[in-house]
């Protein structure tokens, strides 16, 4: 959100909706006490966008899965193919 007196770069987003959708948005914005439908739509879209991004960028594990993950980190199982791949990577990185 921009602060009072701060220069604000803005972009326009437009949408065409049917009359029923417009009335729905008008009613919801009035209930929320938002000054305009546009403000309501932007607020709702930003809230939804943040939720989507949060869900897609975070990992949530059950308690059991968390314990299994920690166990795997603390006590890794030796894997010959992985060891060879790591050695190959390190030698290529040094070149």
Query: What pLDDT does residue 4 have?
Result: 56
Query: What pLDDT does residue 71 have?
Result: 95
- pTM of the entire predicted model: 0.57
Count of alpha carbons within 13 Å of 26, Cβ hemisphere only? 7
Tens digit of pLDDT per residue, the chain (95 long)?
A: 445 555 678 899 999 999 999 999 999 999 999 989 999 999 999 999 999 999 999 888 999 999 999 999 999 888 999 999 999 999 988 87
Distance from C-alpha of 9 to C-alpha of 74, rounded to nearest angstrom:
49
Query: What pLDDT does residue 93 have?
Result: 83
Query: What pLDDT does residue 59 have?
Result: 86
**37 Cβ partners below 8 Å, 6+ apart?**
22, 25, 26, 29
């Amino acid at each position: 959100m921009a602060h009072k007196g701060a220069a604000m770069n803005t972009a326009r987003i437009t949408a065409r909706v049917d009359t029923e959708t417009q009335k729905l948005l008008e009613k919801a914005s009035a209930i929320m006490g938002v000054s305009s439908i546009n403000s309501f739509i932007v607020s709702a879209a930003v809230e939804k966008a943040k939720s989507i991004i949060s869900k897609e960028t975070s990992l949530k594990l059950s308690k059991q899965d968390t314990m299994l993950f920690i166990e795997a980190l603390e006590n890794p199982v030796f894997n010959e193919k992985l060891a060879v791949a790591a050695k190959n990577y390190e030698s290529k990185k040094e070149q």
